[in-house]
Amino acid sequence: MSLVAIGLSHRTAPLSVLERVALAPDAARDLATLALRGEHVSESLVLATCNRVEVYAEVTTFHGGLADVGQALCEATGVTLDELRDHLYVHYADRAVAHLFSVACGLDSMAVGESQVLGQLRQALRSAQDAGDTGRVLDPLVQQALRVGKRAHSETSIDRAGASLVSAGLRRAERSLGPVSGLQVLVVGAGSMSALAATTAAREGAASVTIANRTPERAERLAEAVGGRAVPLTELATELARADLVISCTGAVGHVVDAGTAAESAAGRGPQLYVDLALPRDVDPAVAALPGVEVADLEALGQDLSAAQLGEDVDEVRSLVTAEVSDYLAAVRVQAVAPTVAALRARAAEVVEAELARLGKRLPDVDDATREEVQLAVHRVVEKLLHVPTVRVKELASRDDGDSYAAALRELFDLDTDVTAVRELPLVEDVAELLAVDTSVPGATAPAVAEVPR
């Protein structure tokens, strides 16, 4: 397995950088296509969420694959390598599997334990499959990651390990403005996150919930579902002046709330809180400088959540991930020696058939019943002789030392297979250097780097 995972997330990059690399679904597909154009990448899948962009790729060589993916990431986002390199992380082979499983379980999310990433990963896989970007490595790997994520949510209490971003925003509102039950809430947008925000605010007894959206029909449906009212986005300025708490999450590229509009709306009223759940941000950061106005973006909410993200629930899921990674890698190693086992059995079958044919010519007068008994006896002897080595090689492979045994079998029996041992690498620490090796990524250099097995 030559799996590489390269990306950046809220753990490694500030919000300003994440905004610049944020990818819409079409752009994420373009990134996967760009990666596959590299000569060292055979499969690719892109996971792009509000707080991460990651590329998972099956590569033929480590350095070459890393360079291909790095170049694709720069081309797709328009951000140079010099700007990205300090924020990128790289995982290889078993570390990449462990990272993907952790992501699927919500362990690597800003709100630990959230399940939305499962749907995002499922959609990423579906998109990659439709485009033919995944195959024998990434298809089963991501499907297994989805199963691990489901296990984490069904068999543990990870869901309660960290509050959702919406809940974190409401808790921030309580600290700044008082009980939610007394607040006028304005939700900008009508997508899934906005719907969650409106539903949660209504459930906690907000004095009113208003939905402002570019598409009136969607706003009306959401408003009806939460017992609120809908307004067109053209009335945003008026509604901002009425709202105590503004929760915004749209797919807009630019700022939906600019500093000038916010200043006019804040004039002559009490304190106001903007909870910006969008990436790129809906609310101009300059709004935070207005008197009496507070802005909580994803970065601020992530800091609020960090204190609640420890405990037994997280440890339980980490143990689950560790076991699942071990089982998955064991299965991969067993699968890797399967060609050797098949070749050994095929060689034995060839020898048996040749010797039985020779025996038939030497003893042409042997009756059919005797001939069948001889054939069965020979097959049983061969089967018993092969049983121990074939079972043993699979057992050893599952413990990570079967490849040398398989190589010995290939050498001893002169087996012709296409099996190639994969030398797995440790977690890559120096992304900057590795991305700069043998690459045409703009801004890259080529310092001396210790050779990595290919």
User: Sorting pLDDT into bands at 50, 70 and 90, what band is 428?
Assistant: very low
How many residues in the chain?
Answer: 454
What pLDDT sits at residue 449? 30
- Residues above pLDDT 90, as percent of the chain: 53
Q: What is the assigned CATH class of domain 3-161+426-435?
A: alpha beta
| Most confident listed range (34-48, 251-265, 416-430) | 34-48
pLDDT of residue 308: 52
pLDDT digits (tens, 9 = 90+) for 359-369: 888 888 888 88
Taking 80 as the threshold, does the pLDDT of residue 442 lie above it?
Answer: no
Distance between CA 247 and CA 209 in Å, rounded? 10
User: Nearest CA to 413 among 338, 341, 317?
Assistant: 341
How does DSSP classify residue 257? Answer: B
Query: pLDDT tens-digit profile of 329-347?
Result: 877 776 667 777 777 778 7
Q: Give residue-wise pLDDT tens across range 158-182.
A: 876 555 788 889 999 999 999 999 9
pLDDT at position 418 over 80:
no
Q: How far apart are CA 223 and CA 210, in angstroms?
A: 7
Of 50, 74, 105, 249, which is the active-site residue? 50
pTM of the model: 0.69
209-251 confidence digits (pLDDT tens): 999 999 999 999 999 999 999 999 999 999 999 999 999 999 8
Residue 64 and residue 39 in contact, taking contact as beta carbons nearer than 8 Å: yes
Hey, do 3-161+426-435 and 165-306 end up sharing a CATH topology, with the first three levels equal?
Answer: no
17-26, 133-142, 234-243, 428-437: the lowest-pLDDT one: 428-437
Q: Is 249 a catalytic residue?
A: no
Per domain, the residue ranges of the chain are 3-161+426-435, 165-306, 328-412
- Tell me the mean pLDDT in the region 131-143: 94
What are the CA-CA distances from residue 65 to residues 5, 59, 61, 187 (Å)? Answer: 10, 5, 6, 43
Does the CA dihedral 136-137-140-142 come out positive or negative? Answer: negative
Q: Is the peptide bond before 280 cis (omega within 30 degrees of 0)?
A: yes
pLDDT greater than 90 at residue 445:
no
Q: Please give the CATH superfamily to which domain 165-306 belongs.
A: NAD(P)-binding Rossmann-like Domain (3.40.50.720)
Structure tokens at 75: 């081309």
- Does residue 441 have a pLDDT over 50? no
pLDDT value of residue 103: 95
Q: What is the pLDDT of residue 78?
A: 92
Rounded CA-CA distance 82/84 in Å is 6
pLDDT at 454: 32
Mean pLDDT of 99-110: 92
Task: Confirm if 80 and 74 have CB atoms less than 8 A apart.
Answer: yes
Residue 173 is predicted with a pLDDT of 96
